[in-house]
């Protein structure tokens, strides 16, 4: 079974969002990392601004690549550099491994995302 954390918001494409003030930390869920298997590369090109639904990069596992989609709109503040050297951190601790940090331009977009219970139900 894959783990789901209370208090985060989830997208249908398996990203999670943790909110601190108007900043969204975005990562991928335990379900997503298990589906991908050993993650070998986090490919996030330089992007300044994202709209909700935009592709902002991809995770590469041995077998496949999986595109990343931003659940929110805003200005990209930072990419998690630790993951560039150690992409396996996403497998080890998916909810502790944020991939990008976005300054939200429209926090109401969070309402369109799922809470932990709904997300867990989606993956049943």
Partner 1 sequence: MEQEVSLKFTCLHDEHLALGAKMSPFAGYDMPIQYSGIIAEHNAVRGGVGMFDVSHMGEIFVSGPQASAYVNHIFTNDVSSLAPGGIVYGMMLYPDGGCVDDLLVYREYGAGGYLLVVNAANEEKDFEWMKDNASGFDVSLVNASGRWGQIAVQGPESEAVLKDVLGLQGVSSLGFYNFYDDVWKGERLIVSRSGYTGEDGFELYTTPEGTVDIWRRLIAAGVLPCGLGCRDTLRFEAGLPLYGDELSAEISPMEAGLSMFCKLEKEEFIGKEALERQKKEGTARKLVGLELEDRAVPRAGYPVETPEGVRVGIVTTGYHSISLGRSLCFALVDSFFAALGTRLCVRVRTRAFPAKVVKKRFYQTNYKK
- Residues in contact with partner 1 by the rule CB under 8 A: 37-38, 40-41, 43, 45, 55, 58, 60, 62-65, 67
Residue closer to partner 1 (CB basis): 55 or 106: 55
Minimum distance from residue 89 beta carbon to partner 1 (Å): 15
Do residues 115 and 19 touch, judged by C-beta distance below 8 A?
A: no
* CB-CB neighbours of 62 under 10 Å: 10
Residue closer to partner 1 (CB basis): 2 or 40: 40
Minimum distance from residue 124 beta carbon to partner 1 (Å): 15
Round to whole Å and give the CA distance between 37 and 34.
Answer: 5
- Of 90, 117, 88, the residue nearest 5 (C-alpha): 117
Residue closer to partner 1 (CB basis): 62 or 82: 62
Round to whole Å and give the CA distance between 75 and 66.
Answer: 22
Minimum distance from residue 86 beta carbon to partner 1 (Å): 13
Kindly state the tokens that stand for 23: 């900043």
């Amino acid at each position: 079974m894959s783990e789901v954390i209370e208090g985060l918001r989830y997208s249908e494409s398996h990203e999670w969002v943790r909110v601190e003030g108007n900043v969204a930390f975005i990562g991928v869920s335990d379900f997503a990392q298990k589906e991908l298997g050993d993650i070998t590369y986090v490919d996030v090109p330089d992007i300044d601004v994202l709209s909700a639904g935009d592709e902002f990069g991809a995770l590469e596992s041995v077998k496949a690549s999986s595109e990343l989609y931003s659940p929110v709109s805003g200005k990209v503040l930072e990419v998690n550099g630790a993951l560039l050297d150690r992409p396996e951190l996403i497998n080890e601790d998916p909810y502790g491994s944020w991939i990008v940090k976005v300054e939200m331009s429209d926090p109401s977009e969070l309402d369109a995302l799922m809470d932990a219970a709904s997300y867990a139900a989606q993956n049943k």
